Amino acid sequence: MNPDVAWPVWSRERAQRVESALEGALPAADESPQSLHAAMRYAALGGGKRVRALLAYASGELGGADAGLVDHAAIAVELIHAYSLVHDDLPCMDDDVLRRGKPTCHVAYGEAVALLAGDALQTLAFEVLAKAPLSQAQAQIAMLAEAAGSHGMAGGQALDLAHVEDALSLNELERMHALKTGALIHAAVRLGAACGRALDQAQSDALDRYAAAVGLGFQIVDDVLDVEGTAHSLGKTAGKDAAQGKATYVSLLGLDAAKIRVAELRDEAHTALLAFGAGARRLNELADWIALRKN
């Protein structure tokens, strides 16, 4: 892969790369139990922006790690993300019927199989990481487990479910999203960086500031798109937050202020990367893409 390619080429190549890596990591659809394996493949392949995988590859480049070293991390974060979407869409959670432009996993395969597919996608993520080159594996498994668990994504989801229709303050909303969406985005950045040269403390802190800024920016854009996007452009149900009376950045700040906050966070992400120079090119481009995305 040519390191100097333009952003659209780089991002397309990396998205294709993680797609075929996922394809290889997932069990074949005709392998027993077929319905479970087919549901896992249905949920994890052929859709999604692959933001978390791209963050892992971009962060790997910061420390000179080529894509081959980062594949395990990229697959693992996308598998955890796919599991979270399958479970989030279940009737006992967000109860949604459309995801990535097609019927949600439980609509296609039934609730019991979808629940198991989410479980198995999650355990597969850790299996993939456990098989990564030894020097990285243990630390990466710990990082991902923490990000996905009760102090990370699952904890954020629990806070979200507990507060539907509550009048959350901006601080409470931010805490919930830092866990629900931010923790896995943060883990994608850290897992990728762990594949490259070790960072000193100042660099590590700067990378954490970058991850926090893009994680929050990603979520605010999600809230804006829920208002401004359509089911067709988003590949998922639009307008759900307002319909469910959920507190969002748009409901608390208004659309214009939410967009201004996204621009501020994009600047914060760029500022955090100043210390890194040219190695941070893809992370900078990702910060732009996350702020400007339309789906």
Residues near ligand GRG (CB under 6 A): 48-49, 51, 81, 84-85, 87-88, 100, 153-154, 157, 180-181, 219, 222
Specify whether the CB–CB gap between 236 and 99 falls below 8 A.
yes
N- to C-terminal Cα distance for the chain?
Answer: 27
Residue placing its CB nearer to ligand GRG in the complex, 123 or 271: 123
Residue placing its CB nearer to ligand GRG in the complex, 181 or 284: 181
Residue placing its CB nearer to ligand GRG in the complex, 17 or 81: 81
CB of 131: closest distance to ligand GRG in angstroms? 23
Specify whether the CB–CB gap between 1 and 65 falls below 8 A.
no
Residue placing its CB nearer to ligand GRG in the complex, 49 or 163: 49
CB of 28: closest distance to ligand GRG in angstroms? 23
Could you tell me the two tokens for 261?
A: 């906050």
Could you tell me the two tokens for 157?
A: 């989801």
Residue placing its CB nearer to ligand GRG in the complex, 140 or 181: 181
CB of 179: closest distance to ligand GRG in angstroms? 9
Alpha carbons 256 and 280: distance in angstroms, whole number: 29
CB of 181: closest distance to ligand GRG in angstroms? 4
Alpha carbons 210 and 50: distance in angstroms, whole number: 18
Residue nearest to ligand GRG (CB): 48
172: Cα within 13 Å, side-chain hemisphere: 13
CB of 237: closest distance to ligand GRG in angstroms? 10
CB of 199: closest distance to ligand GRG in angstroms? 25
Residue placing its CB nearer to ligand GRG in the complex, 104 or 219: 219
Shortest CA distance to 15 belongs to which of 226, 208, 222, 282?
282
Which residues are bridge partners to 103 per DSSP? 98
Run of H or E residues at 98: strand 98-99
